[in-house]
Structure 1
Amino acid sequence: MNRRDSLKLAAVAGVSSFVPSVLAQAAAPAPGPLRILILGGTGFTGPHQVRYALARGHKLTLFNRGRRPKEWPGEVEELVGDRDKNDYKALEGREWDVCIDNPTSVPFWVRDAGKVLAGKVKQYIFISTVSVYADTSKPGMDETTALHTYEGPDAMAETNESMRANMALYGPLKAASEREAEKQFPGITTILRPTLIVGPGDETDRFTYWPARIQKGGEVLAPPPADPVQIIDARDLAEWTIRMAEQRSFGAFNACGPDYELGMGAMLYGIRAVTTAGAKFTFVSADFLQEQKVAPWGHLPVWVPGQGDSAGFARTSIAKSLAAGLSFRSLATTTADTLEWFNALPAERRAKLRAGISAEREAALLKSWHEKDK
């Protein structure tokens, strides 16, 4: 059996062995029904939280601006408010067992939510990011690793707009939001720090670029195969979040996957094993990509160099989270479901990926790389 055959076999085994365990886990009722308030709930991970929580027998309330109504497989209370305008009137005088805060990236959202919900919830779960860590140069970062410190004039004056205008603020503002969460909800805060969230429904295309590109076949430009990768399926994050509420687990936890070190090459071959296109990978060096001004994470999604300042970014420790029940779908399952979702999108949407490089740029880079060897 060659490497390609073994990867295909692993992919098929991953799909067939995983599906029953997921269905059994989702169908099993929780130890007791919880009243769960989700701030957001209609974005990427929120709908997965809602469906899983309903399957587990919980009672759901969503609070958002009401701009993206959904159909749910059960009864869901939906309240309307605008956090940018400190409009939390719909939450006043109410109590819940758990509040899950999905979309917050700026501290004043946490502060203002705390003014209404402090003393009204028994657990506050804040979805953060591994980007809060100040030093990503060392492999094995765990939850005790030092966080970014916001160095601007006033963290509470920062808005989503100011953060998007300067993405260097993203990590520091998330870290400041974590600190505000612990201030507003002392002793009952759970902080989950995911890496890149992937899977069907991801409108950023940051992971989708690779399955979409690979299913086209042909020669695929790829970064160094040994550089590590950490991703998490949105459904794995969502379902674990609900279980963390059921367990009343407090503290900070890294939410990265899988539970082994995955290289960029292994990820790409694993994706290819789900398709029939027979794409051929041309792995190029990080130095070449830097010379050609190809940005990690942006131009070539998922990838960050496995050396230097980012040597530890995709080698984050998840030992604490595994002990707390974090589990993962197989790469094959995530890939197949992502492709099914992507292929069902309108043709004009599929033609304009929101991450990655264009076909023309890829062809030019491949030509330059091959000419170096002449």
Structure 2
Amino acid sequence: MRILVLGGTGFIGPHLVEYALSRGHTLTLFNRGRTKPGLFPKAEQLIGDRNAPDGHAALAGRTWDVVFDLPATTPQWVVNAAAVLKGKVDQYVYVSSTAAYKDFARSFPDETHPTQDPAPITGPDAAAAPFGNKKVRCEQLVQEAFGNGATIVRPGLIVGPGDLTDRFTYWPVRIEKGGEVLAPGKLEDPAQWIDARDLAEWMVRMVESRTTGVFNAVGPRTVCGIGELLYGIKACYANDTRFTWVPESFLTEQKVRSWAEMPVWSYTGATTVAFCTTVVDKAVKAGLTFRPLATTVRDGMAWYHSRPAAEQEKLRAGISMEREREVLAAWHAKQSEGR
């Protein structure tokens, strides 16, 4: 197939491009040429700035079988891309987010769950609109322009090699250090994530089979408990890690939040629970598969240890070890008072 990738050099992009090339497809990458230039010498490179009024000019007069729109959060980008590509591609795959759903405190959203109000395309409120509202507007624009050729993919937390958010990475980094580890809530509290490679490879297989529609894309196959995640990571290390499970109520008192200081984790009633209980039956039926947790941990940590020392020292998510010790000390003190 002739595949156009808008982006292609960020987090998901390299995994998708590598997999598509390995399956014999012809790739064209369209981006500003600033991030990792020359990364894929076997792929055609087109330069353009999607923020510019004529930023998509390099695509004019060309045709492709499929386009993957990986980075777009700005609705105007989709408007401009559609103006050039409508009628020129058979399938347009837009990577959205489960943040598109309304009411994050409601558990188990499937693809029919109500979505946020769409953000404005232009005007003073467009740039300030929340992330999920922007994604909803982008989805609508893709569906309006490409109709039955539109594929909307709504991932949850994307993890693995290349992830700069550190939201998932916090846990293997902390567990690798060993000792007493603050573990949130109850073992069965929900947690979900998807390896970027599972997401990217599935999307390539989706276009090979001409599958269209709207799909949630997160994993594992069924909702995992935070205990299963943490003990699964612990099994990757032969050290003295031991978990101290602290109730959600105490963590709330200590201003330790789910999804922030305690990444990946959520609980019933939390404003983040939808992110950890997303229904993925439709995607699984369409061929979404999940590699073992140990593989994600091993490869993700190999990439993490290849990063600059300054990035390794200061994670962008999770709780600092100093603050962790404070919360654990307060919890132990409270337990002693109750004896």
Determine if the alignment matches structure 1 residue 59 to structure 2 residue 26: yes
Q: Aligned to 1:176, which of 121, 137, 158?
A: 137
Q: Specify the code of the residue in structure 2 equivalent to 1:36.
A: I
8 A contact 1:272–1:278 mirrored in 2? no
Q: How does 1:245-324 map to 2 (within 5 A)?
A: 245-324=207-286
Q: Deviations over 1:319-341 (max 9, x none)?
A: 11111000011111101111111
Q: Aligned to 1:116, which of 84, 98, 111?
A: 84
Distance (whole Å) between structure 2 residues aligned to residue 142 and residue 88 of structure 1: 34
Instruction: Provide the residue aligned with 1:69 in structure 2.
Output: 36
Alpha carbons of 1:304 and 1:184: their partners in 2 closer, same or farther (altered >3 Å)? same
Determine if the alignment matches structure 1 residue 351 to structure 2 residue 313: yes
Alpha carbons of 1:80 and 1:198: their partners in 2 closer, same or farther (altered >3 Å)? same
CA shift at 1:209, angstroms? 0.8
CA shift at 1:345, angstroms? 2.3
Q: How does 1:139-154 map to 2 (within 5 A)?
A: 139-150=107-118, 154=120
Distance (whole Å) between structure 1 residues aligned to residue 307 and residue 253 of structure 2: 35
8 A contact 2:259–2:272 mirrored in 1? no
Instruction: Provide the residue aligned with 2:159 in structure 1.
Output: 198
Structure 1: gaps spanning 5 or more residues: 1-33, 164-168
CA shift at 1:187, angstroms? 1.6
Q: Aligned to 2:299, which of 309, 313, 337?
A: 337
Alpha carbons of 1:242 and 1:205: their partners in 2 closer, same or farther (altered >3 Å)? same
8 A contact 1:106–1:158 mirrored in 2? no
Q: Deviations over 1:110-132 (max 9, x none)?
A: 11110011011000000011111
Instruction: Provide the residue aligned with 2:171 in structure 1.
Output: 210
Distance (whole Å) between structure 1 residues aligned to residue 64 and residue 16 of structure 2: 16
Which stretch of structure 1 is more off in the superposition, 286-295 or 321-330? 286-295
Distance (whole Å) between structure 2 residues aligned to residue 250 and residue 106 of structure 1: 22
Instruction: Provide the residue aligned with 1:13 in structure 2.
Output: none
Q: Deviations over 1:156-201 (max 9, x none)?
A: 34799635xxxxx111111111111111212210000101000011
8 A contact 2:175–2:181 mirrored in 1? yes
Q: Deviations over 1:236-267 (max 9, x none)?
A: 00001111111111110010101122101110
Q: Specify the code of the residue in structure 2 equivalent to 1:54.
A: L
Number of equivalent positions: 334
8 A contact 2:165–2:316 mirrored in 1? yes
Alpha carbons of 1:288 and 1:158: their partners in 2 closer, same or farther (altered >3 Å)? farther
Alpha carbons of 1:128 and 1:268: their partners in 2 closer, same or farther (altered >3 Å)? same
8 A contact 1:200–1:342 mirrored in 2? yes
8 A contact 2:3–2:27 mirrored in 1? yes
Instruction: Provide the residue aligned with 2:59 in structure 1.
Output: 91
8 A contact 1:105–1:160 mirrored in 2? no
RMSD: 1.7
Distance (whole Å) between structure 1 residues aligned to residue 70 and residue 125 of structure 2: 16
Instruction: Provide the residue aligned with 1:10 in structure 2.
Output: none
Higher helix share: 1
Q: Specify the code of the residue in structure 1 equivalent to 2:229.
A: M
Q: What is the TM-score when the length of structure 1 is the normalising length?
A: 0.85
8 A contact 1:294–1:300 mirrored in 2? yes
Q: Aligned to 1:107, which of 64, 75, 79?
A: 75
Give secondary structure in 2 for the equivalent of 1:201: coil
Structure 2: gaps spanning 5 or more residues: none
Q: Specify the code of the residue in structure 2 equivalent to 1:181.
A: V
8 A contact 1:188–1:250 mirrored in 2? yes
Distance (whole Å) between structure 1 residues aligned to residue 273 and residue 155 of structure 2: 17
Q: Specify the code of the residue in structure 1 equivalent to 2:47.
A: V
Give secondary structure in 2 for the equivalent of 1:93: coil
Q: Aligned to 2:103, which of 132, 135, 138?
A: 135
Q: Specify the code of the residue in structure 1 equivalent to 2:226.
A: M
Distance (whole Å) between structure 2 residues aligned to residue 131 and residue 212 of structure 1: 26
Distance (whole Å) between structure 2 residues aligned to residue 233 and residue 70 of structure 1: 24
Distance (whole Å) between structure 1 residues aligned to residue 258 and residue 82 of structure 2: 37
Percent sequence identity is: 49
8 A contact 2:179–2:242 mirrored in 1? yes
Q: Specify the code of the residue in structure 2 equivalent to 1:112.
A: N
Distance (whole Å) between structure 2 residues aligned to residue 201 and residue 109 of structure 1: 24
8 A contact 1:143–1:252 mirrored in 2? yes
Which stretch of structure 1 is more off in the superposition, 354-363 or 341-350? 341-350
Q: Specify the code of the residue in structure 1 equivalent to 2:28.
A: T
CA shift at 1:101, angstroms? 0.3
